A and B are shown apart, each in its own frame.
Chain A
Amino acid sequence: MSTPDYHIKSYCRISNGKISKNGEVLFSDDSEEFPAFIKAAYKHFETDYSKFFKMDNLSKLAFIGAEVLLKDNNEENTALVLSNSASSLDTDRKHQNAISDQSGAYASPAVFVYTLPNICMGEISIRHKLYSENSFFIFAEFNPHLLSDYANDLLETGQANEVLCGWVDYDKGKYDAFLYVIAKKGLLPFDTGELTKLYRTK
């Protein structure tokens, strides 16, 4: 399906130890563990935001993806429409382990606040001062059709001027992110076939 009035303005892929923007690799790292990889990326992009280190892994992944795309993007009315398969399960599990430990039984407030997947959009909104619409969907796999319909509706009804969409999935050390900005003008046609192709290019 094609929506010719809009375009893919930019896109970011984070997987397999690499971070790319518009097909160009910006950062790669051999770290096998996600925390080391994403921390190295944070340093590489010279991000000065100490709250990054308090985030859970899903939020760190989404934050860096958004940083790549929104750092020099001045559109304030950018909606966020993200999705994944694992929801916040990785952090949910940490919280569950803490509260089911009968010997200690101390839940961490700092862990508990990340037991929802949409918190990562809150982190992006705070960082980029966005007061825009946002939604988070759980799919079995990347679903460009529904995300495109939703983004199109936001743009057509004037609820957003641009939309940061995509897939940001983290569980048990495995990570996969594909984020893209939909706008009036851009690099590529806003087309679900194109999105699927870009997503599969790891």
Chain B
Amino acid sequence: MSELKLELKEKIIEQLNLEDVSVDEIADTDPLFGEGLGLDSIDALELIVMLDKDYGIRLADPKEGRKIFESIDTMAAYITANRTN
């Protein structure tokens, strides 16, 4: 699980162009939206694409993303439970 969390942090930084953020600065429990990393609605769509492309998970309802993308911890748990590749 810790390997997956590190992988997610690296992917988020790279794919969402978080220029001034390093892996060490993202705690597993930090909120990804709002006061945490400050991601926005377009970033949320990018994360949905990432789930599909990299882990074979298609969200039937994009609103599900709200809980899944709360933090690195919640993302990693969801991917571990649902990944198809």
Contacts and interface: CB of A to CB of B under 8 A. Distances in A.
A107 B45 CA distance: 10
Contact of B53 (A53, A106, A113): A106
A110 interface: yes
A4 interface: no
A76 B66 CA distance: 35
A60 to B, nearest CB: 11
B49 A50 contact: no
Contacts, number: 28
B36 to A, nearest CB: 13
Contact of B18 (A53, A104, A108): A53
A174 interface: no
B85 to A, nearest CB: 14
Interface residues of A, number: 10
Contacts of B70: none
Nearest to B38: A50
A106 B46 CA distance: 10
Nearest to B20: A50
Closest 5 CB pairs of A and B: A109-B45, A53-B19, A53-B17, A54-B17, A106-B53
Given A50-B38, A106-B53, A113-B42, 11 more contacts: A50-B18, A50-B19, A53-B17, A53-B18, A54-B17, A104-B53, A106-B52, A107-B49, A108-B49, A110-B16, A110-B46
